[in-house]
Structure 1
Amino acid sequence: MPLTAIEQLPADQVVWGFPGAGGGFDQDDRLTGSLLPVVFFGTLDAYNHQTERGRAAREVFRGAGFRIGESSDFRGWLLVHFVQNAGLHTQTLRLGDMSKLTTQDVREAILATRELFPLLEARGVDLRRHRGELLPFTAPVRLAAPALALLVTRFPPTRRVMTAHANPEELRAVCRDTLAEARRLGVPAPRLEAAEPWFTETGRFKN
């Protein structure tokens, strides 16, 4: 929980943010990825106001040419991001490389993510507050799947993110934790459960 993570820190000195970026470390511990010109900031319902430090942080990024995204429910924003990754990894763990995703693979990833919406609600997330982030997964799948597949394979920054975001243990951990939470709360997640052999302790990327 975000507030638990900062309970030892002065609340007015904490700024919640997330980069518009992605990638990962390779076997030589070298970080590879892409940094997009956007930074996501947010507040929590318990502290739903911007502090002086928060405003200053935003101005620093604006001054450096970054666009600013805002969320008044940053905890929910993070959970949405987490389940989107879990849904995507049901396919990337099977393939061994995000950049290999086909339209059919993306379709299955979208459906796997949709199945996790009830898990978000069980965790107290109001999905209406995150329509923008969820749009690629709520739009008709016949339109969303080809569009996302094209973005992954043809847009160089996204392709670099997908190719570099390939630490198998990180991907497996996201899926394991999501499925464990779904089971704890009694939320069905059939596609994630079907992918479980790919993210067990002994699971391995496809050669």
Structure 2
Amino acid sequence: MRILFFGRGVISTQYAWAFEQAGHTVEFYVRKGRKETYGSHIELEMWDARKGKQLIKESWNVKLHEELSSNYDLIIVSVNTEQLPEAVQLLSTAAGNTPILLFNNIWQDLKSSIAPLCMNHVVFGFPGAGGGIADNRLRGGFLKMIFLEKPRAGTEYINNQVKKLFESAHFKISWIRDMQSWLWNHFAMNAAIETEVLKRGSFPALMNHRDSFAKVGKHMREMTPVLKARGAKRDMILLLLTKIPPVLLGTLFNKVIFAKGSLPRLFIEYNNSKAGFAISEVVREAKKLGIPLPHLTMAFDNSQQHKAIENLNL
């Protein structure tokens, strides 16, 4: 397949590398001026967990374009959530009928999140990867599992093509029956984690505090009425974070899910992105619904005050 990745971010770069290794042609669309800034290669230091746990270290040549065309078999979009509206608008005018995999976190309802794109041209999925990029060096990794929505009426062909693509690169697919609820729950979990990140100062600092994930569970409990008001169905994420006592939850995350040396822990330790957007979106929705979120609101307001002070000192 000939695949275009929208943006050359952490997720796009790692899966593009994997697909090229499987014999596919991969290229990237980047904003004007970024082609020169990024250059023709990127340094990779990432863990590949498809067959055991292998560390990939290489300088990988990439092909970048600053113009968007429809001459591809598939376009894969994985951008920061706040960039999604701009990306969708551009794709609506330049992608034609090219199928699109939206490999992204989403807080809106799915149909409005991709307007004015046609729902029958879009499949929703979610990666099992993470990390960060600094000074043209990617540090991160990806798991064998990726998440993909079960086919909707009209998307069966695209779903099948996406399935074949990932399987050709030795990924395993976890099929999601209710992608809308799954993404809402996952977005809320990100907001809960971001709340602690804002308190601690960074994603890596989150891992240095034993009680961080116990508090993540408390934040999820606080957001449960918002998810319920939206009509989100409970899944394993929500049940795990809201039903297990905070102390036990903290132990589970620190000793098992994010144990030292585990890839999920490394994904967070390598993450150098800024936190705050997920919280702002959830807090905004809660205000519309008249639902109080005291801990999230306080964390977000404090972060905004810190930003204002930093701007004054510049």
TM-score range, shorter chain: 0.7 to 0.9
Match of 2:244 in 1: 139
SS of residue paired to 1:86 = helix
Quick one: which amino acid aligns to residue 252 of structure 2?
Answer: A
SS of residue paired to 1:188 = coil
Question: What's the TM-score, normalizing by structure 1?
Answer: 0.82
8 Å contact from structure 1 (residues 42, 72) kept in 2: yes
Match of 1:154 in 2: 260
Aligned-pair distance for 1:94? 1.5
Looking at both structures, which has the greater relative contact order when contacts are Cα pairs under 8 Å and sequence separation is at least 6? 1
Aligned-pair distance for 1:112? 0.7
- Cα distance in 1 for residues equivalent to 2:203 and 2:247: 20
- Cα distance in 1 for residues equivalent to 2:119 and 2:170: 27
In percent, how many aligned pairs have the same letter? Answer: 27
8 Å contact from structure 1 (residues 88, 110) kept in 2: no
Match of 2:304 in 1: 200
The answer to whether structure 1 residue 120 and structure 2 residue 224 are counterparts is no
Deviates more, 1:79-88 or 1:191-200: 191-200
Question: What's the TM-score, normalizing by structure 2?
Answer: 0.56
Which one has a larger percent helix, Structure 1 or Structure 2?
A: 1
- Cα distance in 2 for residues equivalent to 1:197 and 1:12: 40
Quick one: which amino acid aligns to residue 140 of structure 1?
Answer: P
The answer to whether structure 1 residue 20 and structure 2 residue 128 are counterparts is yes
Aligned-pair distance for 1:21? 1.1
After superposition, the C-alpha distances for 1:112-160 in whole angstroms (9 at most, x for unaligned) are 1121111111122122xx1x22243022323221111233351431122
SS of residue paired to 1:154 = coil
Which residue of 204, 217, 222 corresponds with 1:110?
217
Which residue of 166, 181, 197 corresponds with 2:272?
166
8 Å contact from structure 1 (residues 90, 192) kept in 2: yes
SS of residue paired to 1:70 = strand
Deviates more, 1:176-185 or 1:93-102: 93-102
Which one has a larger percent strand, Structure 1 or Structure 2?
A: 2
Change (3 A) 1:175 1:30: farther
The answer to whether structure 1 residue 96 and structure 2 residue 204 are counterparts is no
SS of residue paired to 1:22 = strand
- Cα distance in 2 for residues equivalent to 1:179 and 1:12: 31
Aligned-pair distance for 1:48? 5.8
Over 4 Å off, 4+ runs: none
Match of 1:72 in 2: 177
Aligned-pair distance for 1:85? 0.8
SS of residue paired to 2:306 = coil
SS of residue paired to 2:129 = strand
Aligned-pair distance for 1:192? 0.9
Quick one: which amino acid aligns to residue 254 of structure 2?
Answer: A
Quick one: which amino acid aligns to residue 211 of structure 2?
Answer: Q
Match of 2:142 in 1: 35
Change (3 A) 1:113 1:8: same
SS of residue paired to 1:16 = strand
The total of aligned residue pairs comes to 196
- Cα distance in 1 for residues equivalent to 2:285 and 2:136: 30
For structure 1, list consecutive stretches of 5 or more residues without a partner in the other structure. Answer: none
Quick one: which amino acid aligns to residue 53 of structure 1?
Answer: I
SS of residue paired to 2:144 = strand
Aligned-pair distance for 1:10? 4.0
Change (3 A) 1:96 1:30: farther
CA RMSD across the alignment:
2.4
Match of 1:177 in 2: 281
